[in-house]
């Protein structure tokens, strides 16, 4: 099965619900209906904007797919400040980012938590975008492949082959996130090829269907070279997704 490209804007902790609606509408107007034949496009606003963005997407029949930036893995209960996967599913959320390096580093999320989150996302009919990536120290020490290999194993353990085929993985080297320092496309391809090999070793041929994205200072100037690599199926875009003009140029990477 041919993998369809996917570019998701991760708005992080930016935009209130009114700003989010404006960003969504501007993006929609800057994209051509034919663009969606080549690439699936998603946006991940903060939780407080999900309902507003969902309403506009549905009312205007937009092809942009809704993503959440995080979820808890429990169904409900005494977890102050958390959001359950069923709540996201009810908002027609399509993708849920799990294990973003900011969650892992700032909020102490472990591979075990990321794994439980990925399973909970699937259990509610949504698709996880599972993030992995090494630190600068790990890259310089030559242990990047060990680190990412272990994140892949531990974060995805217990998923079925079918789930692996429909999951999205984002390779985001931590040293490239928000730093303006992009991984060399050849290095990104090498790691993403490694990830795909790990997946097929464990889950078989279905790993050919898994979409694997690159993330880390993606912008209109580097997206073309990144997308030209054979194992890279798209991008998870932070800073460059906040301006609709810039993000539209990233989405239309072939122009």
* 68 binds ligand PGA, rule: CB under 6 A: no
Judged by phi (left if over 0) then psi (alpha if -120 to 50, else beta), residue 146 lies in alpha
Q: Considering only residues 189-228, where is the footprint of ligand PGA by CB under 6 A? A: 215-218
Q: Could you give the count of Cα atoms lying within 13 Å of 90 in the half-sphere of its Cβ?
A: 8
* 133 binds ligand PGA, rule: CB under 6 A: no
> What does each C-alpha distance from 92 to 11, 26, 55, 85 come to in angstroms?
18, 21, 10, 11
* 149 binds ligand PGA, rule: CB under 6 A: no
Is there a catalytic annotation at residue 74? no
* 185 binds ligand PGA, rule: CB under 6 A: no
Our CB check for ligand PGA shows the closer of 161 and 220 to be: 220
Given the residues 100, 102, 109, 134, the one annotated as active site: 100
Is there a catalytic annotation at residue 193? no
* One of 172, 213, 227, 250 touching ligand PGA (CB under 6 A): 172
Instruction: Give the count of beta carbons closer than 10 Å to the beta carbon of residue 16.
Output: 12
* 237 binds ligand PGA, rule: CB under 6 A: yes
Which positions touch ligand PGA (CB under 6 A)? Answer: 10, 172, 177-178, 215-218, 236-240
């Amino acid at each position: 099965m041919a993998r369809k490209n996917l570019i998701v804007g991760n708005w992080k902790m930016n935009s209130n619900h009114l700003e989010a609606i404006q960003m969504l509408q501007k993006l929609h107007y800057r994209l051509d209906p034919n663009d969606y034949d080549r690439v699936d496009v998603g946006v991940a606003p903060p939780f407080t904007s999900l309902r507003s963005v969902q309403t506009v997407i549905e009312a205007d029949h937009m092809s942009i797919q809704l993503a959440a930036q995080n979820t808890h893995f429990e169904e409900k209960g005494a977890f102050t400040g958390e959001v359950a996967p069923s709540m996201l599913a009810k908002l027609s959320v399509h993708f849920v980012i799990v294990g973003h390096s900011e969650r892992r580093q700032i909020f102490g999320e472990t591979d075990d938590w990321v794994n439980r989150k990925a399973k909970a996302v699937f259990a509610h009919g949504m698709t996880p975008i599972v993030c992995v990536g090494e630190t600068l120290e790990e890259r310089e020490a030559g242990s990047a492949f060990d680190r990412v290999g272990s994140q892949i194993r531990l974060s995805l353990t217990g998923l079925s082959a079918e789930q692996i085929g429909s999951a999205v993985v984002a390779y985001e080297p931590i040293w490239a996130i928000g730093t303006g320092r992009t991984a060399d496309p050849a290095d990104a391809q090498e790691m993403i090829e490694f990830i795909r090999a790990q997946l097929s070793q464990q889950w078989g041929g279905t790993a050919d269907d898994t979409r694997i994205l690159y993330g880390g200072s993606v912008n209109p100037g580097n997206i073309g070279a990144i997308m030209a690599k054979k194992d890279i199926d798209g991008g998870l875009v932070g800073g460059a997704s906040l301006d609709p003009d810039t993000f539209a140029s990233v989405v239309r990477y072939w122009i």
